[in-house]
Copies of this chain bind each other. A is one copy, B any other.
Amino acid sequence: MTQLARRIKTTDNGLTDLFAYASNPDLISFAGGYPNDQLFPKAELQAAFSDTLATGDATLFQYTSTSGLESLRTKFAKRAEQAGVQATAANVLLTQGAQQGIDLTAKLLLNPGDGMVVEGPTYLGALSAFDAYEPTYYEAPMEDDGLDVNELQKILMTHSVKFIYTIPDFQNPTGVTMSLEKRKALVRLANQYDVIILEDTPYRDLRFSGAALPAIKSFDTEGRVIMLGSCSKILSPSLRLGWLIADEKLLKPITALKLASDVQSSNLTMRAVDRYLTDNDLDQHIQAMNTAYATKKDAMMNAIKTYFPEKIHVVNPAGGFFIFIQNVGNLDMTQFLKQTMLAENIAYVPSEHLFPVSNTKNAARLNYTNLTEKTIQLGIQKLGGQLKQHLAQTNWSTDIQLESISTN
């Protein structure tokens, strides 16, 4: 039978087993990553769609431009100003979620074998997108204030690299926020070594405490930062709407790639989201959401303090969807999941496949957005109990870090 392209891997990412358990009603899953659907602005979105449809405008159902609805691009450009970014509609491409922005950027830059840097650990879905363009990965380790800039420089000094993928705010999976100094340092290094930065900000607005930092893009003087935004976590993932901000010289070929990939995004959806943003205060909605998520996050951190063995490294995130537990002795968290925790009806995302080079196994991602405080406490108690039991005989080295150091 016909050979598939080299990019098609027949091995899976180890999560298939996990999904088989997902339908178990007794399962407490910390493995998710969905927003809480009780927090969607359902009535307002419904009104936005209804009002848009009620215009009776036949062009709603017609093709539109590949760049996307101009008034909506203007709104996202204005929103970027809150992050210190100067942009106009001409710098914005509307995408099918930020995921398409990740895919298109890789498509823009990578020939097979080309070097790129990712944070270790990083977002699994981004690795899937990059994999299709067969890059050579280099991993810059995550520290508690963002990726290790010294290690990044070492990589850039010794290897040819096309771009760096980073999630600077409440990173998936670590929850870590990159410090101001590192944001500036990243742009300096990118300029020095002629590298593009792909700044992915799906969780940026989900801040529970402290003040927002300027986007990496705000320090970009050479048009080498591509910034991605997404409606999925702040509004609704069903809209499949994200945006990509870039200088026009990069945006033009990216837009041509979008045209070739799926022609354009939905005119009706773009019009409805534009209407929502005209009629509602998105930031007010986000604030209400953050209050609810912060309570869940606090419940998880408190349970971790109470029930976890002491020396596991945990950063208290100041926002986002995830808490990451690191340096869990020498425990292989994939095996621990399969052999121990699933039988206890507890699931999480083991770290192995989130580190594309080192495949670090003694860490895991925990999500709190869809669980009640009570369930979170119960699940963490069970997980902590098993961890204590399995770690009793092992040695480990780093300290627990329970206070947030990620707010600035």
Q: Which of A265-316 contact B (CB under 8 A)?
A: 265-269
Which candidate, A71-79, A128-136, A149-157, A385-393, is the interface stretch facing chain B? A128-136
A119 within 8 A of B: no
**Residues of B close to A237: CB separation below 8 A:** 61-63, 263
Contact B108 A5 (CB under 8 A): yes
**In the complex, how many angstroms separate the beta carbon of A24 from the nearest chain B beta carbon?**
18
A343 within 8 A of B: no
Q: How large is the interface on A (under 10, 10 to 19, 20 to 34, 35 or more residues)?
A: 35 or more
Known A162-B2, A253-B8, A263-B125; contact A236-B109, beta-carbon cutoff 8 A: no
Copies of chain A in the complex = 2
Q: Which of A104-134 contact B (CB under 8 A)?
A: 107-112, 114, 125, 128-129, 131-133
Q: Which of A85-105 contact B (CB under 8 A)?
A: 95-97, 99-100, 103
Which candidate, A50-58, A165-173, A371-379, is the interface stretch facing chain B? A50-58
A4 within 8 A of B: yes
**Residues of B close to A96: CB separation below 8 A:** 96, 262-263
A42 within 8 A of B: yes
In the bound complex, CA of A50 to CA of B240 (Å)? 19
Contact B50 A53 (CB under 8 A): yes
**Residues of B close to A6: CB separation below 8 A:** 111
